[in-house]
Structure 1
């Protein structure tokens, strides 16, 4: 009987969302309670729709063959979405079709509603980021012993995927964007894993894609954007398959000095076998960038260009890279870039992280220009790879520099 009552309550909430009936939604929030979620996060058992999904889905009738017709219904939906978000609705909750509300809005061409969901994701990620910073500061203060020395901490766990981050977190939940259970990969696990390298991909021992040959066009354009004149000094963090480093060496504006930081022993062994350690003008630094870069800064090294492409690291580590280390190593007129693979499992996550990065870069004193790069049509590239870490049509290539 209790389950029937709960089912009736869920149906009422979903129906009120479809009808943009915010007074009824407000009453439901005041009167109902669920053991496993908030009222604004209940899900229809048949579709998996949350109230946010339901609101957006109700606008599908406004879509015609020519795009979107502006309607009073869509305006009402915007108000309902704002109401649900203000009451704590999860912006990236998945339905039974593995879609977030934003994914649904994007597919239906409801771009105004999609932008509302992107903005909600940015707010959630920025809040989470700041909370993590405060927790880290408190942990660091609490880890100082009587002698004032900091005690060792366990490494932060990260989800697998190419480059910095490809799961999106909220205050309420962590959602794996490909809908599958994942085994966490952190830096120490990756560095102790045995890698397999073929002509078109580099995989760890769990068959996660570390780097793949389809990224070559992106890397070539990145090298071209960074090497704007001959005889520059360039630093690349993360060799992987050596794609961007090969483009750097083959670039018409060949650099005077080409530094590479790489930590994985299997990659270093492959670099040795291919002669990278003895290339003229190339200097390879073995170890994690967190250890190598402070040493370079202490030696007074500076660079005209820097590229960053790592694996099994969190966004907070990436933010540490550009807020602390780029500031110390990049020439005032220099440029830097990174592999922009954060949230690339789906379009809304990619759009959210672009905005998050822009805001964090601005706060750190950098401006960024984005260039759209057309990607090849994927066919069999993902065969043998445990998870598809790229699922969108265009790559946004960043070029960063100090603000004037």
Structure 2
């Protein structure tokens, strides 16, 4: 392209060509697993300040995508084992060296700040791609990168809240303090972790719905589902078998006290009632659900106490009154992971009997397998820190293709549900 008035290339055109060439050179080096060249390219000042996260405009591939895509076996039938192992197991794997250099390249890019969950134009993260082609070692590396990012986000968030509560005198005393002393949790954090954490954020039950927005919306409540006014799935009947299993584990015999946070369609509360609990407290925040509960007579069922409002407002009062429970279940909508962490670290410890059990609907990140795997590990670490042991049971989830008709977004796509059962540590 030339400027018709000067017959010279415009500065914009030259810059655009240089930028495109930079991008393609980085992506090519990534696909060739050429770490020395990648190191030079991503660390050399250029039009791209963040060379580890450039994108191909046609495919949306980042360097991570390119490095992983190059590991896909040419003949999937001959090389379809774990990490590209040959199906018959008799001959050395021709793809093993490619997988090895691919893993080394992925490790380098993550250290340089590559984003573990960036999406390409096919709506795949690098981890999704690694899982699809059977590069399990690389997939686990990306899961671990996601865990580091999410854990660091929690630490940064906690430090931010602490800072907000400091008075001016404390702030003046800390002026000039060493940076590592100010944030001791981050001393061992890598530059890549800090770069990546800003991209992950808090994952809501539905990332497009805020909790206040949900509570203000009108719900469409039918026999087999609850949808909000934007057709987002709040709760659906396919969850019944999961709720039944959870209720049986939490409340194995009659005469116990149970607390459920989030009534929804009343599925888990129905199974709790089958065990004739001595006390059955239910917290429900949405006025439409509360109205439906009363229409169905939940306020007259044996032992049932309905608390109308958000658990954040109700639970401190129960703790203050000395209420304790043998079993607690948590299943809310459009709340963040930090809300969930506050629930078990600040409230459950004051409400659960010493030998009691509690659980939750484990749907965090279930719209993508790698996100689901990341959140299991993050939750496990945070629960351990809060003083809880957790047991997992894998439950196969049937194909749900027909379940999403009329629903804006499929909030569950993974094959297996991991049912959590939590107790105080011995």
- Taking structure 1 as the reference length, what is the TM-score of the superposition? 0.88
Counterpart for residue 41 of structure 2: 28
Where does 1:46-57 land on structure 2 (aligned, <5 Å)? 46-57=58-69
Match 1:208 to one of 232, 238, 254: 232
Q: Distance in 1 between matches of 2:22 and 2:132?
A: 29
CA distance in 1, matches of 2:164, 2:215: 25
- Residue 62 of structure 1 deviates from its aligned partner by 6.8
Deviation digits for residues 9-62 of structure 1 (CA, Å, limit 9, x no counterpart): 111111111111111111112324335x61000112222111111111111027
Output aligned runs, 1:262-341, within 5 Å: 262-341=284-363
Contact 1:382 1:388 in 2 (8 A): yes
Structure 1 equivalent of residue 172 of structure 2? none
Would the alpha carbon gap of residues 204 and 327 (structure 1) be closer, same or farther in structure 2, given more than 3 Å must change?
A: same
| Distance in 1 between residues matched to 2:47 and 2:238, nearest whole Å | 47
- CA separation of 1:397 and 1:62: change in aligned 2, threshold 3 A: farther
**1:264, 1:216 → 2: CA distance?**
21
Partners of 1:267 and 1:93 in 2: CA distance: 37
Q: Are residues 142 and 196 of structure 1, via their aligned partners in 2, closer, same or farther at CA, if it must alter by over 3 Å?
A: farther
Residue matched to 2:73: 61
Cα shift at 1:332: 0.6
Determine the C-alpha separation between the residues in 2 that align with 1:183 and 1:344.
12
CA displacement, residues 43-95 of structure 1 (integer Å, 9 cap, x when unaligned) = 12222111111111111027733422251221111111111001100001111
Report the CA distance between 1:183 and its aligned residue: 7.8
What does residue 267 of structure 2 align with? 243
Q: CA deviation at 1:223?
A: 0.2
Say yes or no: does 1:127 pair with 2:149: no
Show structure 1 runs of 5+ residues with no match. 145-168
Match of 2:254 in 1: 230
The whole-number CA distance in structure 2 between the counterparts of 1:18 and 1:176 is 31
Distance 1:395 1:63, change over 3 A: farther
Work out the CA distance in 2 between the residues paired with 1:328 and 1:249.
24
Alignment of 1:11-22 (within 5 A): 11-22=24-35
CA–CA distance in 1 between the matches of 2:309 and 2:207?
25
Which of these residues, 79, 87, 107, is aligned with residue 132 of structure 2? 107
Residue equivalent to 2:369: 347
- For residue 188 of structure 1, report the CA deviation from its aligned partner: 1.9
Measured in 2, the distance between the counterparts of 1:324 and 1:290 equals: 10
Deviation for aligned residue 1:6:
1.3
Question: Which stretch of the first structure deviates more once superposed, 64-73 or 368-377?
Answer: 64-73
| Matched positions, count | 374
Deviations 1:270-302 (A, max 9, x none): 011000001111111111111111111111110
Structure with larger RCO (C-alpha < 8 A, sep 6+): 1
Query: Pick from 78, 97, 104: which aligns with 1:72?
Result: 97
SS at match of 1:64: coil
| 1:230–1:256 CA contact under 8 A, matched in 2 | yes
